[in-house]
Amino acid sequence: MKVVVLGGAGDMGSEAIRDLVHNPEIKQLTVGDLDTEKAEKLVSSLDDRRLRAARVDAASHQDLVRVMKGHDVAAGALGPFYLFEKPIVRAAIDAGVDYVSICDDHDAAEAALEFDEEASKKGRRILTGLGWTPGITNMFARKGYDELEDVEAINVYWAGSSGDSEGLAVILHTIHIFTGAVISYQNYEFVEVKAGSGKEVVEFPAPLGQVATFHLGHPEPVTLPRYLKGVREVTLKGGLAENYLNSVAKILVGLGLSSTEARKQRLGKLMKTLLPIFPTDKKRTLSGARVDVTGMKEGQKVKVTYATAERMKRLTGIPLSIGVAMMGRGQIERRGVFGPEAEGAVNPDQFLKELALRRIKVERDESIL
């Protein structure tokens, strides 16, 4: 198969590239990036004849179509996704290429889903949100949902550290998801809640431990209720291990410094410069995901919890690589635009097996309520 990774020279995309080079099914692997110098450096460092670098400007529809054409699968690691997911999905359909992304913005996921009917009619497979969160979290949710009956609630949590990533896109994403109203699913309805509200301290696998989390803008509450029928509640809460940075983010948003895209860009660049001087907990420089699924099992109400903690780039880039391989093999049969938990999309057992092969440890717990 021939694969192009958009944003392939970035933190998350390069991790997907490093995983994909171990796949003998890949015949050509293109690192698509605006920063050609960085892309060529990655290609040179890996020293694999199947690799090549290509310049791509995500702001140009023609450029996206040009770079994607001729490939079997395009992988999307080019953020921030609130700017780029919709145009990339449009370009993938026009280029006649299947697409898998790590899209992590709720509004971007909603925009991508608008292409479902068109993509289905054209036989395209567009999988949005197969990274860390969403992605691993969706697979945890699907797994728990399939294990239980009459599932009542799916509560998704994530925790990250400011020392676990370097890219500007991650910073812009964090600013974006702390801004304004975000989507949640409560009492069988999609509702808007204030970003940064609903503080809840959650226990993640060691060494992360307890982290304060908040309602934030992520795709899980957008997609999970669509495909996992009968669930009353789907919530998403996340937060930074350095809790003072959650407060800083809320203060900056409250001051209106993220009210326009231009302001987000200026604030993001400033934070990228300043973050290295902010104190971090060196023992907790990891990211984590936890999903609690509540439902019935053998006549009892139970809660099944799946959780993991690892480096952010591994939690994000490796699922993208797994999804690309599954798409290229035809193991993802569904047509249209969809989340990874949809019927005919990603098999959760196979996905978790692939994570284990890459030494990403998943913890499971079950308790009677």
Asked if 127 and 142 sit in the same domain, the reply is no
Asked if 258 and 272 sit in the same domain, the reply is yes
Among 107-116, 126-135, 251-260, 358-367, which stretch is predicted with the lowest mean pLDDT? 251-260
Give dist(CA 13, CA 360) in Å, integer.
Answer: 18
Asked if 258 and 197 sit in the same domain, the reply is yes
Residue 250's contacts (CB-CB under 8 Å, 6 or more residues apart) are: 178, 196
Asked if 20 and 32 sit in the same domain, the reply is yes
User: How far from chain centre, in Å, is Cα 274?
Assistant: 25
Contact call for residues 103 and 76 (beta carbons, < 8 A) = yes
Asked if 110 and 217 sit in the same domain, the reply is no
> Which is higher by pLDDT, 34 or 79?
34
71-90 average pLDDT score: 95
Helix axis angle, 81-95 to 168-177, nearest 10° = 110
pLDDT higher than 80, residue 255 = no
Asked if 114 and 155 sit in the same domain, the reply is no
In tens, the pLDDT along 83-124 reads: 999 999 999 999 999 999 999 999 999 999 999 999 999 999
pLDDT higher than 90, residue 71 = yes
Asked if 101 and 194 sit in the same domain, the reply is no
pLDDT of residue 178: 78
Asked if 69 and 174 sit in the same domain, the reply is no
Residue 157's contacts (CB-CB under 8 Å, 6 or more residues apart) are: 200, 202, 204, 213, 236, 237, 238, 289, 290, 291, 292
pTM above 0.85, yes or no: yes
| Residue whose token pair is 């699922």 | 319
In tens, the pLDDT along 146-164 reads: 999 999 999 999 998 766 6
CATH code of the domain covering residue 271: 3.30.360.10
pLDDT higher than 80, residue 198 = yes
- Determine how many CB atoms are found less than 10 A away from the CB of residue 269: 13
CATH code of the domain covering residue 347: 3.40.50.720
How many domains does the structure of the chain reveal? Answer: 2
Asked if 100 and 145 sit in the same domain, the reply is no
pLDDT higher than 90, residue 169 = no
pLDDT of residue 279: 56
Asked if 155 and 96 sit in the same domain, the reply is no
Asked if 209 and 282 sit in the same domain, the reply is yes
Q: Containing domain of residue 58, as a range?
A: 2-131+313-357
Asked if 114 and 189 sit in the same domain, the reply is no
